[in-house]
């Protein structure tokens, strides 16, 4: 029986690319490449879903810079290639692309690719795909508070919500793959009343079918939002 929960904004912590590759005797980069393909599949599923308006993927955190430089460089190249290759997907499926996080640390070429993709897709309305890039939840909140102070605006919940980088509604459902059960500094403000789901599946093995099963479980949960 469904409790009638709507699912407008889905967020996903994509975890397990490296472990997936290691289990198969492959280089970690192969896990990241496969993971990028899964982003495409899940985004298309969300675009075809009757309720989902936005899906936010945790693609690169502020802590990911601690990884080996060779892996970081590969991830930057993979992101640029992904955005270039997804042009047709965005336009054919009516998907708007947005990036959140501090992209100033990226190369000029990557920043320009991000800007072009946002501009090209800004009129698409079927789904908004948000990639969190060099993103940290605490940093986003601090940035929003400082913005309000500089503007001379009162720092209250309504104004702070509006000043955050992440647009649209709060998160309804947050999924993390790979079996880890942590939030890892992701969308700390926006998940205040989100339902959480942790799956042992590594991200490269995550499928639209499993997502659909998780959504069914979400629909049966009771969301009280602090009430009885």
Just list the catalytic residues: 15, 64
**CA nearest neighbour of 9 among 193, 227, 152, 151:** 193
Cα–Cα distance, 23 to 20 (Å, whole number)? 5
DSSP 156-170: -HHHHHHHSSS-SSP
Strands 127-135, 195-198: pairing kind: unpaired
Identify which of 97, 89, 98 has the alpha carbon closest to the alpha carbon of residue 165: 98
Instruction: Let me know if 5 is exposed, middle or buried by CB neighbors in 10 A (0-12, 13-18, 19+).
Output: middle
Q: Please name every residue paired with 63 in a beta bridge, in sequence order, or none if there are none.
A: none
Three-state secondary-structure class, residue 11: strand
Q: Which residue has the tokens 């919940």?
A: 157
**CB–CB of 199/179 below 8 Å?**
yes
Residues 124 and 159: their CA atoms lie apart, in Å, by 27
């Amino acid at each position: 029986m469904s409790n009638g929960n709507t699912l407008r904004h889905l967020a996903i912590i994509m975890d397990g690319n490296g472990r997936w590759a290691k289990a198969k005797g492959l280089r970690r980069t192969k896990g990241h490449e496969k993971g990028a393909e899964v982003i495409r599949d899940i985004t298309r599923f969300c675009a075809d879903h009757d309720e989902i308006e936005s899906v936010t993927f945790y693609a690169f955190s502020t802590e990911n810079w601690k990884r080996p430089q060779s892996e970081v460089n590969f991830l930057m190249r993979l992101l640029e290639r992904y955005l270039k290759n997804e042009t047709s997907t965005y336009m054919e499926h009516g998907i708007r692309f947005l990036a959140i996080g501090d992209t100033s640390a990226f190369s000029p070429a990557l920043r320009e690719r991000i800007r072009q993709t946002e501009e090209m897709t800004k009129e698409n309305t079927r789904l908004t795909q948000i990639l969190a890039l060099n993103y940290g939840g605490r940093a986003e909140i601090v940035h929003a508070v400082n913005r309000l102070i500089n503007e001379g605006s009162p720092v209250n919940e309504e104004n702070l919500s509006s000043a955050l980088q992440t647009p649209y509604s709060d998160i309804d459902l947050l999924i993390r793959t790979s079996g880890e059960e942590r939030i890892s500094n992701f969308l700390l403000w926006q998940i205040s009343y989100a339902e959480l789901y942790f799956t042992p599946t590594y991200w490269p093995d995550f499928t639209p079918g499993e997502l659909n099963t998780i959504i069914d479980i979400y629909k049966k949960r009771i969301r009280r939002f602090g009430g009885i």
